[in-house]
Structure 1
Amino acid sequence: MSTPFGLDFGNNNSVLAVAKNRGIDIVVNEVSNRATPSVVGFGPKNRYLGETGRNKQTSNIKNTVENLKRIIGLNYKDTEFDQEAKHFSSKLVELEDGKIGSEVRFAGKVETFSATQVAAMFIDKVKNTVIEDTKASIKDVVIAVPVWYTEEQRYHISDAARIAGLNPVRIINDVTAAAVSYGIFKTDLPEGEEKPRIVAFVDIGHSSYTCSVVSFKKGSAKVIGTAYDKHFGGRDFDRAITEHFADEFKSKFKIDIRENPKAYNRVLTASEKLKKVLSANTAAPFSLESVMNDVDVSSQMTREELEELVKPLLTRVTEPITKALAQAQLTAEDVDFVEIIGGCTRIPTLKNSISEAFGKELSTTLNQDEAIAKGAAFVCAIHSPTLRVRPFKFEDIHPYSVSFSWDKQVEEEESMEVFPANSAYPSTKIITLNRTGDFEMKAFFTNPSDAPAGVSPQIASWKLSNVNVPEGEQSVPVKVVLRADPSGLHIIEEAYTTEDIIVQEQLPLPEDAAEDAEPEFQDVTKTVKKDDLVITASTFALSADELAKLTEKEAELHAQDKLVAETEDRKNTLEEYIYNLRSKLEEEYKDFASDAEKSRLGDMLNKAEEWLYSDGEDSTKGKYIAKYEELAMLGNMIRGRYLSKEEEKKQALRAKSESSKMAELAEKLAAQRKAEAEKK
């Protein structure tokens, strides 16, 4: 049985949650943190994923890839590329398909990985983190992504999950996942004919800002308005602080950190910490040792200075709120509560700006960092065939209008708007077409200008075959089932030809009819399914061959990482054994080994140590094991004598203790007999 897994795929950190123990639990990583850095680093032998990648980022700056969710599915020639590229320390290159890839030095060679591959590496890492923590089977996952993800990006993140060996049962908008988390734990939501509760969710994370307006009733939620600013988040505040100090250090210390990527990254990391400190304090010091050219830097910043520094950013707070309310056809007064999520919403000046935009106090019912992951885990549990969960229905909203077109074979319309903007999904529509033979269909943005920048207006295409036209007929009716599925993907779920058949239906008897009256029948024409069509889809998803190839590659890299980790562990075990055995040979074991054994084992330890720091510095797992066993053969024999003697001592102490207890008991019994005799 697979444990439902929810992943909040964050730009800076990702949060993992599972549905178990009759609730939703956050999964901690290998260092007991409740969030895992969304970082993939590449080293001389293996990859550095999550926490390890973050720890090695400064020393491995050019081979560390972060901001993973920003480049997945993005075209290299996209108008937003330059804006994203400035946040990367690794080299971004154009792939054959026009997408963005990352060029790094890995295992001594220059390698290029697609954004989907790098995301898959990270997802594989967090999958194994969940397996380690829960000791359960992990197969199904719901991944929370930004509202602004295009259909192409949703396909790419689904592919990344599949490469990592997971089944992405649903790709959910992150704020919608938070709304689910809110709805399932609230016990006071309106019911029946009561007025729905209107809640605005403002999510400002590391890289983007989303506002969604949601209508709640008990057991259900419906997104009625949503808007976003793709380039407004915590990283913009961090960069503003870093640029401020870059100018200050240039004039004060005569160093330019912009010329040194490692120095810039260290200041950027320190700026993020400073931002957090200033969220709770009015002033904070800022200092770094040997930041560049052996120069130590120090400064300070007040909260007022920070607010002045980010004032241009704060002017952008209102727009997503205004747009979301307009889409929902509501005013700020209609909103009952404003829930804030995302780490960036802890900044006091930002909270004030949001509060002013709505004209009301903000609410923090939800855990700002974990609500999205918990909502995603609950949605995954809904899809689980083995878990029973509280019924909860939710709908999201189409940001754009989507139409479908088809080959012109008869005199009829060639396209139709099927899913209008602002309509709810998941949803299903059935259209009927008259076809003269096999045909093609396409899904596209109704208004090409609605397509996100750099994205083709076409969404997907399909070939529909096995259209059999009856002899003597010019065309045949075809029913096509069009669906906007729960992940926001537009698909053709089913297609089939129909035919009209005549059946006899019994007419109702008159009220005054005799009991033995003969029933009357009439011929009725009914439309029934005839032949299922074969649907061949052409979407943004990887082909089966490409998916299999990348899955195999990820499995190889995972095995390589595991071997490197096990080899390092064996090396450390050998090193520890050498020092421990040498120390014990001079202390605990000194009376349990002959002089010849001590001399022989001492030589063996010295040679093993010498080998370990020369030829054995970069050896294999098997050689470390062999060296360990060679030492352990003699070492364990001496240790056995020591343990045998220790056991003898324990047995002697135990016998002495038991003898003492028996003597005490005998003495006590004798005293009792003497007392009884005296009474007589």
Structure 2
Amino acid sequence: MSVVGVDLGTLNTVIAVARNRGVDVITNEVSNRATPSLVGFGPEARYTGEGAKNQEISNLKNTVSSLKRLVGRSLSDPDVQIEQNFVSARLVQCNGLALAKDVEEEYTNEKGEKAIRIVREPFEIPYKTEVGTEVTYRGKKTPFAATQLLAMFLSKIKETAHLELKLPVSDIVVSVPPWFTDGQRRSMLDAAEVAGLKILRLMNDTTAAALGYGITKLDLPAADEKPRRVAFIDIGHSNYSASIVEFKKGELAVKATAYDRHFGGREFNMALVRHFQKEFLAKHKIDIFTNPKALSRVEAGAEKLKKILSANQQAPLNIESLMNDVDVHEMVNREQFEKLIAPLLNRVTVPLEQALADAKLTKDDIEFIELVGGSSRVPAIKAEIQAFFGKPLSFTLNQDEAIARGSAFSCAILSPVFKVRDFSVQDIVNYPIKFSWEKDDDIPDEDTSLTVFNKGNVLPSTKILTFYRKQDFTLTAEYACDSKDLPGGTSKTIGKFSVKGVKAGPKSEFMICKLKARVNIHGILNVESGYYVEDEEVEEEIKEDGEKKDPDAMETDDKKDESKPRTRKVKKQVRKGDLEIVAETESIDAKTRTSATVYEKLMISDDVLVARTEDEMNKLEGRIYELLSKLDEEWAHDEAFDPRLFNRDNPDPKLVVAEKEKLGKILEDRKNWLFAEGGYENRPEPTLAQYQSSLIDINNIGRILERRYRETAEEKSNAAKGVQKAAEVNKDEEMTDAEAPKPEVEEPQVVG
């Protein structure tokens, strides 16, 4: 079983996994430690992560970003209207989830004949009203709700983790901004289930960072000592959160959390973009806001420039042929940049003041200030925060990966597979929740609403509610705060819970109903169960341990029957049966979720098939050009071949030419078939099987010629080596004859 933590960011997503020796951040298919949080749509397939990033500029209208900020929201929300400034695809209102069915379609084939092919026709199934986007997918205009778009990206996260771990991936912990509402959190869970994932916990960003900080510390105060108080500040691409956390050995408790929902790196980028828009308009008479591609390129340039300015005093922006063949070159220094973002810098301390006030603490009570998030690297922001607290900042955590690591630790704690040091995590409820109900005429003085979970209550938290009723009734759960405290446009209603099976009992005028309300580990409210009780007299054993015995009492032979304990009759509420709870919340019903899951798997299969088909097409194209090149160059001269290798019984050199001409004709035919002019309109897209078959046909002939050429080359090489060797032997023999000593001839001696 896998243990995976995911920091789901607006710009990038980081994945961490727990292994035997700790927690590692894994890389994606191009070895990046962060994956772009994007989903794109092409003519035949989807693109997610790096694939979507690569085609973003050329396919802006069909590429969707800001996935987590759209999920669970409505198009009419003011916050969503703000998101449209950062999302290149057109946002629409979706009243259902997109599905598809296969239907028959008539077309004209290459021969001009009428034929039938199977095409996929999109349709919608009812779902809650949610913002989404309309894209062109498989040749059809298709609206996808934000929940479905997020599910597509989570499928990519699942695949990336699976390729790294070589294990099935199911259980994960995902981080979310602490200001996420009940509806947004439910949509996150729904998206994960559609992607085939089970979220063990939706964890607030700063809480995840705090867990990653505390679980590795061995010097935390003991339970009876003063807690260590740390401020965790997370400034990411679009969100700013601050939490005050108290640590003791083996536990952390979040005391308060505050946030700014529209403060982050993209706001800094936009300040630069607006500056460049004015500069380009004045110098070059071009308006980048009228050209989406130009605007996207400037935004990308502003992002890079901002990062350079975090470590340097000035940075350039150079973009060739931005608009109307105009090249732009600008230089920005850090002082200019800080003036551009001055209105944002004035907001830096607001969440910090709010968090301290909610925690009922002062700046002096905070011992350490930990900064995480990419945008916390901006020098001006660090200076503002340090000036506010009046003490040095801490950077002991990896700013880009701390939240993912903390999420992975949380997943390991919740997973039965890993043994982790015991560490308790107490988060808090960020929005107060109340229940309201219709007034019962038989109880004139009854209140009709009650705040059950206050802001700052420990999370998870359970409350038992008691009602006296004669018939079925409904509870309405709402946020007990001002609308301005909620994300823009969010409804205050969380859901409705109908209690069924209520009727007066034979012994009472009312049924006593007990309902279990719980804000669970994800921060989601549910009325989990209901039951009814009756007042009954029951026998209760009297405990004698506490009774006093008179030391002067006389002992007698009369003894009590110790086999029967003393009891007394008391009235108690005895559980008699369960009540049915029917919930009306923003979660997807089981049937709809199953349909969406099946369609997601179908789209994954389509993506895999398209990828394999493109791969085979590229192989076929490469092989065609490889063999054509050999025919034109390496095999251009017939004498390069030994005719006997073609037909040893009839070694006719003409066979060489015929064989090459045959291969050349096949290659030209296949090339024309592969790149037929208007082929995609006049015939169906070639299938994977057709590409594979064509590649096999070409290889069968190409390999014969390659083998013959290789064998001929080897024969010539061997022959050349033989001649060389013979020449060397002859030379050696000549040298031997020349250098051999001549026999000495002795002159006959005359003996006198």
Length-normalised TM-score, structure 1: 0.90
> Structure 2: 5+ residue runs without aligned partners?
96-127, 647-655, 717-752
| Distance of 2:537 and 2:22 partners within structure 1 | 53
| Distance of 2:488 and 2:380 partners within structure 1 | 31
Residue matched to 1:206: 237
Instruction: Return the letter of the residue paired with 1:495.
Output: G
Please tell me whether the aligned partners of residues 161 and 167 of structure 1 are also in contact (alpha carbons under 8 angstroms): yes
Please tell me whether the aligned partners of residues 210 and 228 of structure 1 are also in contact (alpha carbons under 8 angstroms): yes
Residue matched to 2:604: 558
Is 2:582 aligned against 1:548? no
Aligned ranges 1:57-96 → 2 under 5 Å:
57-96=56-95
Is 2:454 aligned against 1:446? no
Instruction: Return the letter of the residue paired with 1:462.
Output: F
Instruction: Return the letter of the residue paired with 1:332.
Output: K
Residue matched to 1:330: 361
Correspondent of 2:688 among 593, 597, 621: 621
CA, structure 1 residues 507+75, in 2 after alignment: closer, same or farther (shift >3 Å)? closer
Instruction: Return the letter of the residue paired with 2:569.
Output: V
Residue matched to 1:676: none
| Distance of 1:643 and 1:218 partners within structure 2 | 73
Instruction: Return the letter of the residue paired with 2:35.
Output: T
What CA deviation, in whole Å up to 9, does each residue of 1:226-281 have, x standing for no partner?
A: 11111111001111111111111111112111111110110110110010111111
CA, structure 1 residues 433+642, in 2 after alignment: closer, same or farther (shift >3 Å)? farther
Aligned ranges 1:530-679 → 2 under 5 Å:
530-582=576-628, 591=641, 594=646, 595=656, 596-614=658-676, 618-637=685-704
Instruction: Return the letter of the residue paired with 1:428.
Output: T
Please tell me whether the aligned partners of residues 148 and 228 of structure 1 are also in contact (alpha carbons under 8 angstroms): yes
Is 2:532 aligned against 1:497? yes
Residue matched to 2:451: 417
| Distance of 1:251 and 1:515 partners within structure 2 | 113
CA, structure 1 residues 262+414, in 2 after alignment: closer, same or farther (shift >3 Å)? same
Is 2:567 aligned against 1:522? yes
Residue matched to 2:336: 305
How big is the shift at 1:79?
2.7
Bigger mean CA deviation after superposition, 307-316 or 515-524: 515-524
How big is the shift at 1:546?
2.1
Residue matched to 2:378: 347
Residue matched to 2:207: 176
Residue matched to 1:654: none
> Structure 1: 5+ residue runs without aligned partners?
650-680
CA, structure 1 residues 467+608, in 2 after alignment: closer, same or farther (shift >3 Å)? same
Instruction: Return the letter of the residue paired with 1:430.
Output: I
Residue matched to 2:734: none
Instruction: Return the letter of the residue paired with 2:527.
Output: I
Residue matched to 1:378: 409
Please tell me whether the aligned partners of residues 318 and 330 of structure 2 are also in contact (alpha carbons under 8 angstroms): yes
| Distance of 2:500 and 2:68 partners within structure 1 | 37
Correspondent of 1:429 among 453, 456, 463: 463
What CA deviation, in whole Å up to 9, does each residue of 1:489-535 have, x standing for no partner?
A: 11122221223351252552765778953235222334332212222
Please tell me whether the aligned partners of residues 542 and 568 of structure 2 are also in contact (alpha carbons under 8 angstroms): no
Please tell me whether the aligned partners of residues 72 and 116 of structure 1 are also in contact (alpha carbons under 8 angstroms): yes
| Distance of 1:236 and 1:160 partners within structure 2 | 28
What SS does the corresponding residue of 2:215 show, helix, strand or coil?
Answer: helix
What SS does the corresponding residue of 1:569 show, helix, strand or coil?
Answer: helix
How big is the shift at 1:201?
0.8
Please tell me whether the aligned partners of residues 345 and 351 of structure 1 are also in contact (alpha carbons under 8 angstroms): yes
| Distance of 1:607 and 1:176 partners within structure 2 | 63
| Distance of 1:68 and 1:640 partners within structure 2 | 55
Please tell me whether the aligned partners of residues 79 and 487 of structure 2 are also in contact (alpha carbons under 8 angstroms): no
| Distance of 2:708 and 2:227 partners within structure 1 | 78
How big is the shift at 1:469?
4.0
Residue matched to 2:273: 242
Aligned length, in residue pairs: 650
How big is the shift at 1:10?
0.4
Please tell me whether the aligned partners of residues 75 and 81 of structure 2 are also in contact (alpha carbons under 8 angstroms): no
| Distance of 1:77 and 1:189 partners within structure 2 | 47
How big is the shift at 1:639?
5.5
Instruction: Return the letter of the residue paired with 2:538.
Output: I
Please tell me whether the aligned partners of residues 77 and 98 of structure 1 are also in contact (alpha carbons under 8 angstroms): no
Instruction: Return the letter of the residue paired with 2:691.
Output: Y
Instruction: Return the letter of the residue paired with 1:523.
Output: R
CA, structure 1 residues 543+646, in 2 after alignment: closer, same or farther (shift >3 Å)? farther
Correspondent of 1:132 among 159, 163, 180: 163
- Paired-residue identity, %: 45
RMSD: 2.6
What SS does the corresponding residue of 1:633 show, helix, strand or coil?
Answer: helix
Please tell me whether the aligned partners of residues 42 and 48 of structure 1 are also in contact (alpha carbons under 8 angstroms): yes
Instruction: Return the letter of the residue paired with 2:700.
Output: M
Residue matched to 1:656: none
Residue matched to 1:673: none
CA, structure 1 residues 606+487, in 2 after alignment: closer, same or farther (shift >3 Å)? same
| Distance of 1:79 and 1:533 partners within structure 2 | 40
Correspondent of 1:508 among 544, 563, 576: 544
| Distance of 1:70 and 1:400 partners within structure 2 | 18
Please tell me whether the aligned partners of residues 204 and 345 of structure 1 are also in contact (alpha carbons under 8 angstroms): yes
Aligned ranges 1:238-277 → 2 under 5 Å:
238-277=269-308
Residue matched to 2:19: 20
Bigger mean CA deviation after superposition, 321-330 or 421-430: 421-430
Instruction: Return the letter of the residue paired with 1:80.
Output: D
What SS does the corresponding residue of 1:124 show, helix, strand or coil?
Answer: helix
Instruction: Return the letter of the residue paired with 1:453.
Output: G
How big is the shift at 1:627?
0.3
Aligned ranges 1:186-225 → 2 under 5 Å:
186-225=217-256
Please tell me whether the aligned partners of residues 469 and 476 of structure 1 are also in contact (alpha carbons under 8 angstroms): yes
CA, structure 1 residues 608+321, in 2 after alignment: closer, same or farther (shift >3 Å)? same
| Distance of 2:487 and 2:268 partners within structure 1 | 25
Please tell me whether the aligned partners of residues 641 and 708 of structure 2 are also in contact (alpha carbons under 8 angstroms): no
Instruction: Return the letter of the residue paired with 1:489.
Output: I
Residue matched to 1:465: 500
How big is the shift at 1:613?
2.3
Residue matched to 2:520: 485
What CA deviation, in whole Å up to 9, does each residue of 1:179-228 have, x standing for no partner?
A: 11111112221112121111101111101111111111121111111111
How big is the shift at 1:451?
4.5
Please tell me whether the aligned partners of residues 501 and 528 of structure 1 are also in contact (alpha carbons under 8 angstroms): no
Correspondent of 1:320 among 334, 342, 351: 351
What SS does the corresponding residue of 1:545 show, helix, strand or coil?
Answer: helix
Please tell me whether the aligned partners of residues 469 and 503 of structure 2 are also in contact (alpha carbons under 8 angstroms): no
